[in-house]
Amino acid sequence: MNTSIILISLIITLTQLADAYLRYLAFRKGMEAGERRRLWGLYLAWGFFDGALFYYWLFQHTGIEVVAYKAVLMLGWIPYQAIFMAVVRRQLCQHIFVVGMSAIWSFLQHNWSNIAVALLMQDSPEATVLTVHGGLYLLWFVLAFPLARGMFSRLLPSRKFFDLRPLGLYIAFLPLAIISGHMLLMADGRLWHTWPERLSRIYLPLFFFFFYRYVLLASREFYAQQRGEQNHQLLSGQLGALEEYSRLSQKNSEEIAVLRQELRGNYRAVHALLEQGETEGARKTIAAARARLEKARPVSYTKSPFLNSVLSVCINRAEGMGCKVSARLDLPDTWHTSESDLALLLANVLFRAAKASTKQPEGRRELMLILRIREGKGTMELMNRHETPFPLDERGLPQEDKAIDENGLGVLSLTAFAQKYGAKVSFCQQEGWVRLSLSWEDRSL
């Protein structure tokens, strides 16, 4: 009897570790190496406690009978999932969704085992049937593992599915809702069920998997199309910035040509004054020319010519909207954040802030930019005057406003930068100012 208890305890433990592995596959790509090692260390430790201690103790006291067997199958996954969510403390909706999908997969495996033992072992002892049933589950798991690995590795749809509220919650709970009815019907003390029950338990989960596969393919096509449109919008924004830079360069060239003419005239005037002995007049002419040169000298925000060009375009555009702009940049000689990513972010958020400031009366339109990269950390603060309430969406980002950001490039470039660099983003409004705060790790990607 002890050998049978050890065997069925081991089978159930391996079954639950197999199910936990499928759930792990859905998150594996987004996990760090340390998280993986910690997760599997805890899984194996709990598996030893479950299999070698608790399950052995349970079956020793209850015997190998159907109620205890069903109880550990239906509840034994909970500690493993609790461990998983303690290690990966994010993406709650995704966890719920993956639990439901793995429950459907396990349900299918168990039903194939039910059909096999129903065909071959109707007259066998209950303990033998349950042990063989668990062994068959492991057999089906091994045979179907290539299919399961491919499916669960690509199981999760885009995060945007789950970020939508309340639609994201409906999607997350859908697999559990599909399977819960059958699970409740199975939570009884019967070993054998009717053939219509067995067949319906296979039909419904299979139908759901095919349906979900269609939804997943459709969603990937939709988001691929949406990414294409967003890339087109970003490209249009970049082309607009380049055109603005070309116009600014042309304007600077014209101003330099005028300045050269003025300087030649000033040289002739100074020369004539000196010949006439009017030293004071020559000194005043030189002072005026020097002041003109100081005013025309280009502002250098950073040692990066590319960022200087982008900031010059953006600030010139904002000043053209009547905004008073102050910018302070503290950047090292070298940094790891992509210049193009940073330039695209600055161009779009500055333009959006300038557009938002145009809602203020003239004379109260003001922007303040602080950008700093030091000791592997990047921070940015952008403030613009905005006296009226500044609405935010459920993500804490500005709500869509076509009058301010027609193509949504400001929020789009901000979220793209935040996702790429794992940046923390926050908006707040205080005393007539809207403040955007951004912090990220300065690293190469």
Tens of pLDDT along 138-151?
898 889 899 889 88
Residue 189 lies inside a defined structural domain of this protein: yes
Does residue 303 share a domain with residue 183? no
The answer to the question of residue 47 being in a domain is yes
DSSP string covering 314-367: HHHHHHHTT-EEEEEEE--S--SS-HHHHHHHHHHHHHHHHHHHTTSPTT--EE
Which of 152, 171, 193 delimits the end of a domain? 193
Do 185 and 305 have their domain in common? no
Q: Which domain holds residue 43?
A: 2-193
Q: Residue 222 carries which side chain, given as an amino acid letter? A: F
Give the tens place of pLDDT for each residue, 85-125.
Answer: 999 877 788 899 899 888 888 888 888 888 888 888 888 88
CB atoms closer than 10 angstroms to residue 235: 10
In a domain, 208, yes or no: no
pLDDT in tens, 284-339: 766 766 665 554 445 567 777 777 777 877 887 888 888 888 888 888 888 888 88
Does residue 249 belong to any structural domain of this protein?
A: no
Q: How many domains does the chain have?
A: 2
Residues 435/429, Cβ–Cβ less than 8 Å: yes
Q: Within a domain: residue 169?
A: yes
- Residue 268 placed within a domain: no
Give every CB contact of residue 426 below 8 A, 6+ residues apart in sequence: 396, 436, 437
Residue 418 lies in a domain: yes
Q: Which of 160, 193, 226 is the last residue of a domain?
A: 193
- What mean pLDDT, rounded, does the chain reach? 78
Closest CA to 113 of 131, 134, 128: 134
CATH assignment of the domain containing 431: 3.30.565.10
- The terminus-to-terminus CA distance of the chain in angstroms comes to 59
Whether residue 303 sits in one domain with residue 189 = no
**DSSP-derived pairing of the beta strands 324-330 and 424-430:** unpaired
Q: Last residue of some domain: 193, 226, 250?
A: 193
Confirm whether 230 is domain-assigned.
Answer: no
435 and 319 fall within a common domain? yes
| pLDDT in the model for residue 296 | 46
pTM metric for this prediction: 0.53
Other CB atoms within a 10 A radius of the CB of residue 379 amount to: 17
